[in-house]
Amino acid sequence: MPPKAKAAGKGRAPAKRKLPEEFPPGEVLTDTGKKAWKLGAPIGQGGFGLIYLADENSAKSVGADAPYVIKVEPSENGPLFSELKFYMRAAKPDLIQTWMKSHKLRTLGVPRYWGSGLHERGGKRYRFMVIDRLGTDLQKKFEECGKTFPRKLVLQLGLRLLDILEFVHDHEYVHADIKASNLMLSHSDPNQVYLVDYGLAYRYSPDGVVKEYKEDPKRCHDGTIEYTSIDAHKGASACRRSDLEILCYCMVQWLCGRLPWEDKLQDPLYVRDSKLRCQENISQFMTNCFSSQDKPDEIQKFMEEVKSLGYQDKPPYEKLRSILQTGLKSIHTKDDGTLDFTPANGGVSPPVQVSTHRHTKHTAVAGSLDLNLTFFVFHDAFCLSGGARFLLWQQHLLKTVNPPDNTNRFSLWHHLFVIVISKTF
């Protein structure tokens, strides 16, 4: 499992922690079940410690094809301990297999937990955990694809994540930190994707009793800032709808390249308010992110369904799956089990694209994402002051403006902006 890209935003754990010394290949660790594991070479470093290739103890050295990894951190650190609680309660191989069988699934993207324990070396104690070895993360694939995924791929990823999240939720937890760098392909099968890093996982329903909504100002904005839920922005503990809201933001970003608030991630209140506006008018949010002919209707329907959920509600997983499957049908395809990362627009406009062809009258101007983001900034700046008048002029101008050939769209938006200001104030 390679190290994951560091993501923006903050979580609950402290930023600075002790890192363990590097253990030599061949070091043997014995878990609480008395099973011995042999370390191979270190292959990554997380915020908590080091990640090693590993295998069951034998006379052979651990090779590059090792099927397991072991995470190691100083015992006084907290993140791995938090993650361990989830794995021990929910990710044992027999639990995963039983749930897959009951839901008629061939695969499920939750790494299997194989053991854990404490290890002493040089007078120091270390905590370790053994899980499946995985491959590359989706953040790297996203960047390799020019920061857009094909529409089919995004819908397939959404379907797989619904399976994963339903499993996690059924076992009393929420993940709370879904993002491309926490999604990893299988080491042996590039068509399987796994959700990893349960350091922020929260037990929302201990012993089947769902916790009530409660805001804690000290916990505002927990998670990764660009994706975290409105509940988290307000200081409430994550819930099932929180995971699905985060998934919505991920799917939009994978399709169009970026989220409208990404330029101001250092301002969590701005990000929170932008997400609140998104929830208040999902249709406008989609217009800000996509050109009219490329807008994925299924994503808007998915977001509206998630928006309707209460804090303690159980999500309608099957209905959400149906929405994404309908999206696949609308582009004349289906989930064939193959994840194709071939760079392509997948029916969605790339982040930067300037068109110079003529638009006929009464056709909405289909700007690139950057231009839509420009308009989004204008909307943020003046909607509160201009109120309904601004929105009416915005809709009128989008429907009636007919730019001449070779008109630069940024100039067009500039002129629209000037007109709106003159009409609004």
What does the domain layout of the chain look like in residue ranges? Answer: 28-134, 135-330, 369-424
Structure tokens at 29: 């660790």
Residues in CB range of 169: below 8 A, 6 or more apart: 204, 240, 243, 314, 315
Residue 334, pLDDT above cutoff 90: yes
Closest CA to 321 of 180, 157, 176: 157
Q: Could you say which DSSP state residue 286 is in? A: H
What is the SS3 assignment for 345-369?
Answer: CCCCCCCCCCCCCCCCCCCCCCCCH
Q: Is 177 considered catalytic here?
A: yes
Check if CATH label 3.40.710.10 holds for domain 135-330.
Answer: no
- The class (CATH top level) of 28-134 is alpha beta
- Hey, what amino acid is at 99? W
pTM of the model: 0.77
Whole-number pLDDT of residue 325: 98
CA 329, 334, 339, 343 torsion-angle sign: negative
Residues in CB range of 200: below 8 A, 6 or more apart: 11, 12, 13, 82, 175, 176, 177, 222, 223, 238
What average pLDDT does range 241-257 have in this prediction?
98
What average pLDDT does range 243-254 have in this prediction?
98
What average pLDDT does range 299-306 have in this prediction?
98
End-to-end C-alpha distance for the chain, whole angstroms: 56
Residue 77, pLDDT above cutoff 90: no
Q: Out of 31, 132, 177, 222, which one is annotated catalytic?
A: 177
Q: How many helices (H) and strands (E) does the chain have?
A: 12, 11
- Model confidence over 107-142: pLDDT tens digits? 999 999 999 999 999 899 999 999 999 999 999 999
Residues of each annotated binding site for ATP? 71
Whole-number pLDDT of residue 223: 92
**Other Cβ atoms within 10 Å of 284 Cβ, number:** 17
Name which of 153-157, 287-291, 292-296, 387-391 the model is least confident about: 387-391
Q: Which residue has the tokens 């499992």?
A: 1
Mean pLDDT of the chain: 83
- Model confidence over 402-416: pLDDT tens digits? 444 444 444 444 444
Whole-number pLDDT of residue 70: 97
Whole-number pLDDT of residue 16: 56
Residue 275, pLDDT above cutoff 60: yes
Whole-number pLDDT of residue 100: 98
What average pLDDT does range 345-365 have in this prediction?
37
What average pLDDT does range 269-280 have in this prediction?
97
Of the pLDDT bands very low, low, confident and very high (cuts 50, 70, 90), residue 19 is low
CA 14/CA 268 separation, integer angstroms: 18
Instruction: For the chain, give the longest Cα–Cα distance.
Output: 80
- Model confidence over 177-197: pLDDT tens digits? 999 999 999 999 999 999 999
Structure tokens at 269: 């209140």
Structure tokens at 237: 């503990």
CA 212/CA 190 separation, integer angstroms: 40
Whole-number pLDDT of residue 293: 85
Share of the chain above pLDDT 90, in %: 68
